Structure 1
C-alpha cells in the first residue's frame, strides 16, 4: 500500500493526540473533544452528525454505488484519576482527570483514517466513523443506540480497536470469539436482629451468615463453572457495625462485588448462583436477605466472519507475520459489546509497545504510544478499502 499520510500530517496528529491528552474529559462531558472531532471531519469534507448520547459524533463518508455499510468506533472519554507523570510536557491540565486508557490515541487514529479515506476515495459504499462518549462505565454505547444510532445509520458490520500494552508496535491481535468479559455488579444485605455483643443468643447475628456467604461465593467459579470456561466473582465492599461500638452486634451486613464472564450462559448462571447462596445461607441462619444483581456491560464476542475480514485487512496493512490470531481475552469490559450484540462485530487489539514504565491501562503514569498512530491508521484505512471494494 502506498504511503497513506506524510510525516507532516502524522506529526500534526501526534500533536493533536497530546493536546487531547492534556485536556481530558469524562464521559458525557467531552464537549471540547467533540468540537475538535466535528471540526476535523468537516474540514475533510465528511458529513457530520452530533448530539448522539449527548456528546457523541458520527462522521459519514459515502462514495460510489456500493450498498454495504460499515462502522468504525473510537472512544473519547478519560478517567477520573490523577496523572502522576510530572516529567510529561503534555500531562493532564485538569486535576483528577487523565487519559489513562488511550482513548486520546483511539480518537486521533480514527480521525487520521477518516482524512486518508476522504482523500484517497478508493472505496464504494458507506463508512460511519463513530466517536463514542462515556465508554468508561458510564453507558455511552447504550446512550447513542438509544438516540437512534442504528435507525439513522444502518450498519452491516461494526469494528472496534483498542491499544494493548505488551503487543509490539506494528503488531495486532485479531481473534474470533470472546475478547472481553461481561461486567456486572451485585449486592447482598443480610438482615438480622442486633444485640449486645456479650449476649449473641438474644439476637440473630447477620455477620455469621455474611462470613459463610463470603466463603461460599468463591466456590462458584471452581465448582459451578465448566473448567474450560472462565469467570470471576469478587466481593469488593463490606459494610456493617461501628468501630466506635464494638460491643454491638449489627442488625445488617451489606456486601457488594463484581461478576464477570465470557459467555451469556455463564453470566446467567453467576447471577442465579450468587442469589441462591445468599438466600440459602440466610434461611439456614433464620434471618432475612435482599439480593440485587445489576447488569452492566455484556461480554464482547467477535463474530467469526467479521473477524476473518479484520484479520485479512490487518495482514494486508501490517504484514502476514505481524498479526496474531491467538491472544488471551481480557477480564476488563468494553461497551462495544452493545454494538456487536446488535450487528456482527469485531474488536481488535493494536500494539502499544512494552507493558512497562506505567504503560498499563488505568495507571497514573499511562500514556498512549504515539508510534502506534500510523499502524492504526493504516489498519483502519485498509479495512475500509477492502470491505468496500470499488467496482
Structure 2
C-alpha cells in the first residue's frame, strides 16, 4: 500500500479479502472470450453485495451497476478478464490450475481491484450521488474486446460520462501511480509477409528464385524505414520476430513467411510507415520478379490521455504519489474507449526488487505483492471523491 496517499479506513480493512480474491482468480485463468468461470466468479461476488449485474456482454463480459441518489453523472471503471497462453513458472500456493494458461498480465489483479471498489462503495460509510458502472471486459489480449463493447452501445445505454482503467506495471516502483498526458501506449498493427519464389536444386540456384534471399533483403530494407523515412524524434518500431521458410538444406526455397508488429504513437506516423513499407515490398517484387503477399491487421489505437483528466487525477491522488512516465511501446485496447468517451488510463507500479518481483508482463514468473491492490482500490476511490461523486463521505 501507499500510505502517503489519501487513505480510507474501509480500504485498509479489506487487504486480506483482496489477497484472497486475487489468489482465487489467479487459479482459474481463461483465454479471450472463454472467461466463463471467471464471469461466474465475478457475478457471484457482485450479487453477494446486492449489485445489479448484467451478463453476456459481447459474450462473457459482466457489468455491475451502482446507481447514485441523483445520478447526474456516470463514472465507469474497467477491468480486463482474460489470461494468456503462458506456462506459469511461479511455485506459489495459488498457481494456475489450468495447464498452459496464466494470468501473466495482471488481469487477475485488475478484477480484484474492481471487486474491492465494489465492496467499498456498497459497505463503506459512503453514499453515492453519481452512478458507478463496474465493467469487467473480456478479450483484451489481442482480440479487441473494448472495441466490441463500444460498438455494442453498452456505455451509451448507461450514459457514461468518463471511463477509467489501470494496469499493473513492473516498470515502476510498487505502489507508485504512473500516468502521462497525451500518447502513453502505442498504436499497434500486426503484419505478415509471405514471399513466393521458385524451387530448384541447391546446386542449380539459377534455375529457381530464392525466397530466402528475397526475405533477407526485404527484412534489411524494411529496417531503413525507421531510420530514413521518419522524423528521428517521432518514436516508431517495426519488429519482425519470426521468419520461417524452405524445405530442405539443398533446395532453393519457394516460400518464406515473416511475422511482425508495428508500433507508433501518432496516426500520421503510422500512415507514413505503412506506405513506405508497402513501397519497399513492391520494389522487391519488381527487383526479384517474385510475389509478396501482405497481410496487415490494424489492432489498437494509441492510449491517449486528455491533459485535463491527467491534471485532475494528479490532484485526486496527491501529485507526490504520481510519476509522469515515459510512453511505452506496449498496446492496450482501452484506447477504443478513449476514441469515443473521456477516458484516463494509468499504471500501478508492482516492481519490488527486494522480493524479486521484477519480471515483465507476459513472463511466466510475473507476480506482484497483493498489498498493491489496496492502492488501486484507493486510487479509484480518490477519483470519485475528487469528482464529488458522493453525497456523504
Please report the TM-score for the alignment, with normalisation by the length of structure 1: 0.92
* Partner Cα separation in structure 2 for residue 265 and residue 102 of structure 1: 32
RMSD: 2.0
* Partner Cα separation in structure 1 for residue 390 and residue 11 of structure 2: 24
Structure 1 residue 185, shift from structure 2 partner: 1.0
* Partner Cα separation in structure 2 for residue 357 and residue 383 of structure 1: 28
* Partner Cα separation in structure 1 for residue 193 and residue 174 of structure 2: 45
Between stretches 12-21 and 118-127, larger displacement belongs to 118-127
What secondary structure is seen at the aligned counterpart in 2 of 1:339? helix
* Partner Cα separation in structure 1 for residue 390 and residue 357 of structure 2: 44
Aligned counterpart, 2:186 = 181
Q: Using a 3 Å threshold, how does the CA distance of structure 1 residues 216 and 89 change in structure 2: closer, same or farther? A: same
Q: Does residue 1:109 correspond to 2:108, yes or no?
A: no
Contact 2:350 2:357 in 1 (8 A): no
Structure 1 residue 367, shift from structure 2 partner: 1.4
Q: Using a 3 Å threshold, how does the CA distance of structure 1 residues 134 and 192 change in structure 2: closer, same or farther? A: same
Q: Using a 3 Å threshold, how does the CA distance of structure 1 residues 98 and 272 change in structure 2: closer, same or farther? A: same
Aligned counterpart, 1:297 = 300
What secondary structure is seen at the aligned counterpart in 2 of 1:369? coil
Aligned counterpart, 1:53 = 58
Aligned counterpart, 1:99 = 103
Q: Using a 3 Å threshold, how does the CA distance of structure 1 residues 2 and 219 change in structure 2: closer, same or farther? A: closer
What secondary structure is seen at the aligned counterpart in 1 of 2:340? coil
What secondary structure is seen at the aligned counterpart in 2 of 1:291? strand
- Number of equivalent positions: 383
Structure 1 residue 43, shift from structure 2 partner: 2.5
Structure 1 residue 221, shift from structure 2 partner: 1.3
| Alignment of structure 1 residues 1-391 onto 2, 5 Å | 3-5=8-10, 9-86=14-91, 88-119=92-123, 120-243=125-248, 246-315=249-318, 320-324=319-323, 326-354=324-352, 356-357=356-357, 359-390=359-390
In structure 1, stretches of 5+ residues that fail to align are: none
What per-residue deviation string (whole Å, max 9, x for no partner) do you get for residues 184-219 of structure 1? 111222223332322233333333322211111111
Structure 1 residue 353, shift from structure 2 partner: 3.2
* Partner Cα separation in structure 1 for residue 88 and residue 245 of structure 2: 34
Structure 1 residue 170, shift from structure 2 partner: 3.1
Contact 1:179 1:330 in 2 (8 A): yes
What secondary structure is seen at the aligned counterpart in 1 of 2:344? strand
* Partner Cα separation in structure 2 for residue 358 and residue 221 of structure 1: 30
* Partner Cα separation in structure 2 for residue 366 and residue 299 of structure 1: 24
Q: Using a 3 Å threshold, how does the CA distance of structure 1 residues 7 and 384 change in structure 2: closer, same or farther? A: closer
What secondary structure is seen at the aligned counterpart in 1 of 2:148? helix
* Partner Cα separation in structure 2 for residue 85 and residue 158 of structure 1: 33
Aligned counterpart, 2:3 = none
In structure 2, stretches of 5+ residues that fail to align are: 1-5
Contact 1:165 1:351 in 2 (8 A): yes
